[in-house]
């Protein structure tokens, strides 16, 4: 890790050098809450966004736009959906302390422990903290698709990488692993929580398997890392054409409340710039590929127009990562 990298893990998405520090400061913290804030920690806040539905918004940034290593317990967003019988938590956090906090909140808010955890995708910042839901020998059912389950094993069996938080202590992925595997990734299973049914929608694009959770009676979608707000998407494992299709699907009903994977919770209708940004990346990456440029060369010429707002980078190489994902797809290296 170069010193410049570790000194500043987030840089502003705008290219103007003079504006980087100021833009970073102005956008270091996620925007105002969408719902009623019921708990605030240094690493996250929990918002009530419907009856029996709460969304986590992680806040890992210092005011200067850098990561705060003491504020990465959750690192990803997620939440709680309560029925009369089941209490579902969305995603596993980066560290067990994050999942333990969410489990404690669920107990406080519903009077019952978490019964099921749905893992949206394999990335360590969404699966590394699963052990935090465990209470001695007992714990909730951990639900994931077969692809997600396999990828957790494949990617984190040896040298563990943490796509959205590589500079922090590596999370211990095991021993808590998915216990209920969804093998048919083309159907949309439903879960009856008691008085409320949710839909588990298998999609892909951020990774080869991304689960969105739809709570129809509260008009809420937990989008996992398919949708980001104010932070430039991490394309490290992306299948970019599928990413766009999945996002179009998730944002189609503009009245929905979307719990993003990173950044603020927002109405689908207010997330249009995110989709525009994905389309702009596609346009520029295709042109770059057709001109025979490398992803690094293409990324160097890429800027986000001010009209799309500010998009911070978790990592200064993320434009290149995006162009590389498109190169892989255009070269026929991804299915």
Using CB under 5 A as the criterion, which residues of the chain lie in contact with Zn ion when the complex forms? Answer: 123, 225
Q: What is d(CA 233, CA 277) in angstroms, rounded to the nearest whole number?
A: 9
322 Cβ partners below 8 Å, 6+ apart?
Answer: 232, 233, 235, 238, 240, 281, 285, 299
Q: What is d(CA 108, CA 102) in angstroms, rounded to the nearest whole number?
A: 10
Q: In angstroms, what is the minimal distance from the CB of 256 to Zn ion?
A: 21
Q: In angstroms, what is the minimal distance from the CB of 21 to Zn ion?
A: 27
The nearer residue to Zn ion, 123 or 327, going by C-beta atoms, is: 123
Q: In angstroms, what is the minimal distance from the CB of 126 to Zn ion?
A: 6
The nearer residue to Zn ion, 47 or 225, going by C-beta atoms, is: 225
Main-chain dihedrals φ then ψ at residue 323, nearest 5 degrees: -65, -35
The nearer residue to Zn ion, 125 or 282, going by C-beta atoms, is: 125
The nearer residue to Zn ion, 225 or 282, going by C-beta atoms, is: 225
Q: In angstroms, what is the minimal distance from the CB of 278 to Zn ion?
A: 15
The nearer residue to Zn ion, 116 or 225, going by C-beta atoms, is: 225
Is the sign of the CA dihedral 333, 322, 238, 219 positive or negative? negative
302 Cβ partners below 8 Å, 6+ apart?
Answer: 281, 284, 319, 323
The nearer residue to Zn ion, 48 or 225, going by C-beta atoms, is: 225
Q: Are 313 and 11 in contact (CB under 8 A)?
A: yes
Element (H, E) at 281: helix 272-290
Q: In angstroms, what is the minimal distance from the CB of 56 to Zn ion?
A: 15
The nearer residue to Zn ion, 52 or 230, going by C-beta atoms, is: 230
Sheet containing 190-192: which strands, arranged edge to edge? Answer: 190-192, 197-203, 210-215, 220-228, 257-262, 266-267
Q: In angstroms, what is the minimal distance from the CB of 206 to Zn ion?
A: 6
Is the sign of the CA dihedral 84, 222, 100, 174 positive or negative? positive
Q: In angstroms, what is the minimal distance from the CB of 332 to Zn ion?
A: 24
Q: In angstroms, what is the minimal distance from the CB of 123 to Zn ion?
A: 3
The nearer residue to Zn ion, 59 or 209, going by C-beta atoms, is: 209
Main-chain dihedrals φ then ψ at residue 27, nearest 5 degrees: -115, 10
| 85-129-236 Cα angle (round to 5) | 115
DSSP code at position 38: E
């Amino acid at each position: 890790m170069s010193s410049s990298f570790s000194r500043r893990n987030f840089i502003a998405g705008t290219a103007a050098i003079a504006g980087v520090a100021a833009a970073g400061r102005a956008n270091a913290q996620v925007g105002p809450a969408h719902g009623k804030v019921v708990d605030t920690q240094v690493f996250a806040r929990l918002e009530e966004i419907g009856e029996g539905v709460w969304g986590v918004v992680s806040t890992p940034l210092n005011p200067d736009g850098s990561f705060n290593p003491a504020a990465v317990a959750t690192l990803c967003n997620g939440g709680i959906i309560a029925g009369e019988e089941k209490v579902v938590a969305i995603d596993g956090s980066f560290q067990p302390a994050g999942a333990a906090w969410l489990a404690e909140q669920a107990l406080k808010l519903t009077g019952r422990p978490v019964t099921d955890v749905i893992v949206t995708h394999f990335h360590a910042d969404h699966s590394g903290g699963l052990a935090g839901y465990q209470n001695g020998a007992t714990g909730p059912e951990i639900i994931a698709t077969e692809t997600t389950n396999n990828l957790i094993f494949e990617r984190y069996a040896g040298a563990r990488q943490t796509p959205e938080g590589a500079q922090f202590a590596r999370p211990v992925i095991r021993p808590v692993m998915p216990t209920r595997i969804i093998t048919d990734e083309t159907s949309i299973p439903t879960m009856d929580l008691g008085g409320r049914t949710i839909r588990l929608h298998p999609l892909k694009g951020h990774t080869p398997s991304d689960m969105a959770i739809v709570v129809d009676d509260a008009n809420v979608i937990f989008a996992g890392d398919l949708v980001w707000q104010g932070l430039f998407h991490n394309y490290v494992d992306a299948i970019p054409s599928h990413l766009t299709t999945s996002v179009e699907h998730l944002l189609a009903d503009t009245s929905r409340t979307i719990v993003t994977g990173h950044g603020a919770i927002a109405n689908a209708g207010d997330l249009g710039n995110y989709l525009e940004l994905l389309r702009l990346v596609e346009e520029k990456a295709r042109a770059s590929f057709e001109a025979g440029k490398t992803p690094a060369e293409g990324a160097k010429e890429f800027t986000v127009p001010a009209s799309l707002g500010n998009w911070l980078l978790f990592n200064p190489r993320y434009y290149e990562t995006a162009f590389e994902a498109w190169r892989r797809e255009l070269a026929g290296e991804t299915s």
